[in-house]
Chain A
Amino acid sequence: VISTTFEYSRATSLDDALARLRAANGGGKLVAGGHSLIPLMKLRLSEPGTLIDIARIPGLSGIRETAGGIEIGAGTVHHDVATSALLQQACPMVAEAAAAIGDPQVRNRGTLGGSLAHADPAADYPAVMLALDADIHLMGPTGSRVVKARDFFRGLFTVDLAADEIIVSVQFRPVKCAAYAKLYQRASHFAIVGVAAALDAENGTIRSARIGLTGASSHATRLTDVEEALAGKPLSASSIEEAARLAGASLQDINSDIHASEEYRRAMIPVFAGRALKRALERAA
């Protein structure tokens, strides 16, 4: 429970953080809230030689309206997302998911960027970013690039982020008609199964739907079967019930652990897909 020794430094800007990462020559790790990294270091599953603290980089945290929608800085803590008046009004799913993360201690320190970079298979944010079709903005030594959430989560704790890159922010078009529902693991409050559902509806018809699933397999994924079943259907409880039944049926690798068997997890996917969709529908009114 005691980490190996490491150097610690605080970055003053993004460029400074990138320079420090480069100087650490592969042995550096970024830390902000530390709620994923520090436990791993205590278990010695991660032994970085240098920690580069990015928590106080000006401009890295905060929730802003942009021309294309809403931008959340990577350093924004979960509590600030959960209590944001802008998000609660314009895109309540994001605030609702942030409020469902861990406990108050975790929400006061843990950050959006940390959660996405770590990509725990049971983390809440990845499902939400998939449902929002969010753009994840990264910066590296050769400049910045943008990765779609659906291309970002690639495998177990594996994302499209190089060792010398930093997540700067997440940007998305707010969706009012969206909700997040999860089955809590009672110790960690991670998701045994978590579903984020966003509906694009017009004149009582679902034009398209995006549904993100977390907790069930190695990494967060879209439930494309349900999305396709919803497209073009009337915006009604019966469309949703019918489509939610398909949720997860085509998924191959479902997690099984001491908290939930594969069979139970598989059965919970349609339940929580239905709950997320139902609440999204209620927000359409």
Chain B
Amino acid sequence: LSDEAFFEPANNTYPFGCHIAMLEIDRETGETTLLKFVAVDDAGNLINPLIVEGQIHGGLAQGIGQALIEEVVYSDEGQLLTGSFMDYALPRAIDFPHFELEATVTPTPLNPLGAKGVGEAGTLGSTPTVVAAAVDALSEFGVKHIDMMLRPEKLWRIIQGGAS
């Protein structure tokens, strides 16, 4: 005896959230220190809140890493220069503060669980949040935009009065 059933939701679900970063930039060196990071995400009903939190933690590490320390660099001849983890900065636990997470719960009516996606909530919010914090910190230098990643030398040049 066998049976198959398919559930096809009538539409996509839309998780949402808000991330806030407190970032410190060293005026003398351009080094960044992430002091505080708060993420409030709404993935509807959380079936397993611990798993959801873990997924967001991982996403935050990936997103913040992309903004602050991760960069693939090639030479003019096309040779990969960040070919090992000695040169490509993979985020580590010490690169982050303790993440502060909250969840609002707005169940979706589109499925019986009331659950929405949480896959990329951490990565999507954190990257622009961290860069926006840096732009805000450097606003006194007329900065309105900075390309990722926020290499200390790049920020140092902005502070020294160079172009952003």
Residues of A within 8 A of B (CB): 39, 103, 183, 186-188, 190, 258-261, 264, 267-268, 271
A258-B153 in contact (CB<8A) = no
Residues of chain A within 8 A (CB-CB) of B92 are: 103
Residue from B31, B90, B156 in contact with A187 in the complex, judged by beta carbons closer than 8 Å: B90
Q: Residue B153 contacts which of A103, A190, A260 (CB distance < 8 angstroms)?
A: A260
Instruction: List chain B residues, Cβ under 8 A from A264.
Output: 152-153, 156-157
B153: which A residues are within 8 A, CB to CB? 260-261, 264
**Chain B interface helix/strand/loop/mixed:** loop
**B81 interfacial contact with A, CB 8 Å:** yes
Min Cβ gap A241→B in Å is 12
**Sample (20) of A-B pairs whose CB atoms are under 8 Å apart:** A39-B86, A103-B92, A183-B29, A183-B31, A186-B69, A186-B95, A187-B82, A187-B85, A187-B86, A187-B87, A187-B88, A187-B89, A258-B82, A258-B87, A260-B153, A261-B153, A264-B152, A264-B156, A267-B156, A268-B29
| A188→B86 contact, CB < 8 A | yes
Give chain B residues whose Cβ lies under 8 Å from the Cβ of A188. Answer: 85-87
Contact indicator per residue, chain B 84-125, by CB within 8 Å of chain A (1) or not (0): 011111101001000000000000000000000000000000
Q: Are B81 and A258 in contact (CB under 8 A)?
A: yes
Chain B residues within 8 Å of A260, by CB? 153
Does B4 have its Cβ within 8 Å of any Cβ on chain A? no
> Residues of B at under 8 Å CB distance from A?
28-29, 31, 69, 73, 81-82, 85-90, 92, 95, 152-153, 156-157
In the complex, chain A residues whose CB is within 8 Å of the CB of B156: 264, 267
Minimum C-beta distance from B65 to chain A (A): 10
**B-chain residues with CB within 8 Å of residue A271 when the two chains form the complex:** 28-29
A82 to chain B, nearest CB (A): 15
Q: Which 6 A-B pairs have the closest CB atoms?
A: A187-B89, A186-B89, A188-B86, A264-B153, A186-B69, A271-B28
Distance in Å: Cβ of B83 to nearest Cβ of chain A: 10
Query: In the bound complex, how far is the Cα of B73 from the Cα of A260, in angstroms?
Result: 13
Q: Cβ of B28: which chain A residues have Cβ within 8 Å of it?
A: 271
Q: In whole angstroms, what is the CA distance A260 to B86 when docked?
A: 14
For the complex formed, measure the closest distance between the CB of A102 and the CB atoms of chain B, giving whole angstroms: 10
Extra inter-chain contacts (18) besides given A186-B69, A187-B85, A258-B87, CB under 8 Å = A39-B86, A186-B89, A187-B69, A187-B82, A187-B87, A187-B90, A188-B86, A258-B73, A258-B81, A258-B82, A260-B153, A261-B153, A264-B153, A264-B156, A264-B157, A267-B156, A271-B28, A271-B29
